[in-house]
């Protein structure tokens, strides 16, 4: 029984990690159809803000990871949207190229600033024992954080006028303008929101993995797989894809090895995209957010 609950927590933990890696990308792709190749570097920046905030600026880890990191990376996202992305709306390939360029520039810039070495931070929570076993308290925190992110996004999209405008702009930006709205501003804020969520995710994962300027590359593939498999609905799609891939990956990791776990995740993704080219929410939960 104890062992089963540990396994469940491990599975929920890997689902939560997938959510935190990919939700920022899901917001930007789902709401704006922009493929942000610099998403991995937004995660990396979030990690650095959290670690430097804690180790060098003397801030509490929770303050630097949960407040400072999303704030700083969100502002970076707003600035990049204003400088680069807004000129390229509707030109998907050009946006991919431009964001890839941003990604290379951010990796290069951070390498110059901090060097090409891994920086880490101790896991800020003690482990929790369940019977004869123990699980990382931080993993439990990540599960709670992922749930809070979903709840926050749901309220934002469903209850606020910004959320209403964002959903309307996704469906018909020209009509939003014809009613007197400002779709350009909605796009800018949505991109900033996606960047802020990436900053939060990167910061939350930093204690588990440490950060290095090239760490984005190890996140980006999983983030894209989750987002594309989820489909157009941001929350329902991300949740369903994360649950599927997180469970498959973790169960195979437990039965075999972490490598087989990764392989199983990728095979599941390939089969899923073959069967549901529009992603899970292209077929199911179409009307959800």
Kind plus residue range of the DSSP H or E element containing 45:
helix 39-55
Counting contacts by CB under 8 A, is residue 90 touching another protein?
Answer: no
Residues touching another protein: how many (CB under 8 A)? 18
Q: How far is the CB of 176 from another protein (least distance, A)?
A: 7
Helices and strands (DSSP H and E) totals, the chain: 13, 2
| Token pair in block for residue 162 | 């910004």
Q: Identify which of residues 165 and 253 has a Cβ nearer to another protein in the complex.
A: 165
Q: How far is the CB of 77 from another protein (least distance, A)?
A: 24
| Residues belonging to the chain | 289
Q: How far is it, in rounded angstroms, from Cα 109 to Cα 101?
A: 12
Beta bridge partners of 135: 128
Q: Identify which of residues 71 and 156 has a Cβ nearer to another protein in the complex.
A: 156
What residues numbered 135-194 form the site for another protein, per CB under 8 A?
Answer: 161, 164-165, 167-168, 171-172, 174-182
Question: Is the distance from CB of 75 to CB of 192 less than 8 angstroms?
Answer: yes
Q: Identify which of residues 133 and 285 has a Cβ nearer to another protein in the complex.
A: 285
Question: Is the distance from CB of 137 to CB of 126 less than 8 angstroms?
Answer: yes
Q: How far is the CB of 188 from another protein (least distance, A)?
A: 14
Q: How far is the CB of 167 from another protein (least distance, A)?
A: 6
Q: Identify which of residues 148 and 179 has a Cβ nearer to another protein in the complex.
A: 179
Q: What is the x/- site pattern for another protein, positions 248-287, by CB under 8 A? A: --------------------------------------xx
DSSP conformation letters of 206-263: HHHH-B-TTTHHHHHHHHHHHHHHH-S-HHHHHHHHHHHHHHHHHHHHHHS-HHHHHH
Q: How far is the CB of 39 from another protein (least distance, A)?
A: 25
Q: Which residues of 2-24 are buried (b: 16+ CB within 10 A; e: fewer)?
A: eeeebeebbbbbbbbbbbbbbbb
Q: How far is the CB of 158 from another protein (least distance, A)?
A: 10
Q: Identify which of residues 176 and 188 has a Cβ nearer to another protein in the complex.
A: 176
Binding site for another protein (CB under 8 A): 161, 164-165, 167-168, 171-172, 174-182, 286-287
């Amino acid at each position: 029984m104890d062992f089963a609950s540990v396994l469940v927590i491990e599975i929920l933990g890997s689902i939560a990690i997938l959510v935190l890696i990919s939700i920022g990308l899901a917001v930007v792709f789902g709401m704006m159809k922009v493929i942000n190749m610099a998403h991995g570097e937004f995660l990396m920046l979030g990690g650095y803000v959290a670690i430097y905030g804690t180790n060098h600026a003397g801030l509490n880890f929770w303050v630097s990871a949960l407040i400072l990191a999303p704030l700083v990376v969100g502002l970076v996202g707003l600035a990049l949207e204003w400088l680069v992305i807004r000129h390229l709306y509707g030109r998907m390939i050009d946006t991919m190229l431009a964001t890839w360029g941003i990604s290379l520039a951010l990796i290069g810039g951070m390498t110059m600033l901090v060097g090409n070495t891994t920086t880490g931070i101790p896991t800020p929570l003690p482990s929790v024992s369940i019977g004869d076993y123990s699980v990382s308290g931080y993993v439990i925190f990540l599960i709670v954080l992922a749930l809070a992110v979903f709840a926050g996004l749901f309220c934002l999209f469903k209850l606020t006028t910004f959320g209403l405008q964002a959903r309307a702009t996704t469906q018909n930006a020209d009509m939003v303008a014809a009613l007197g709205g400002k779709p350009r501003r909605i796009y800018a804020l949505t991109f900033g929101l996606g960047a802020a969520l990436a900053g939060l995710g990167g910061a939350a994962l930093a204690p588990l993995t440490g950060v290095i300027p090239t760490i984005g590359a190890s996140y980006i593939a999983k983030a894209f797989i989750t987002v594309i498999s989820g489909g157009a609905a941001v929350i329902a799609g991300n949740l369903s894809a994360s649950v599927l891939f997180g469970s498959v990956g973790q169960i195979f990791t437990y039965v075999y090895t972490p490598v087989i776990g990764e392989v199983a995740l990728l095979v599941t993704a390939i089969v899923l995209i073959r069967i549901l080219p529009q992603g899970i929410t292209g077929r199911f939960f179409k009307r959800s957010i």
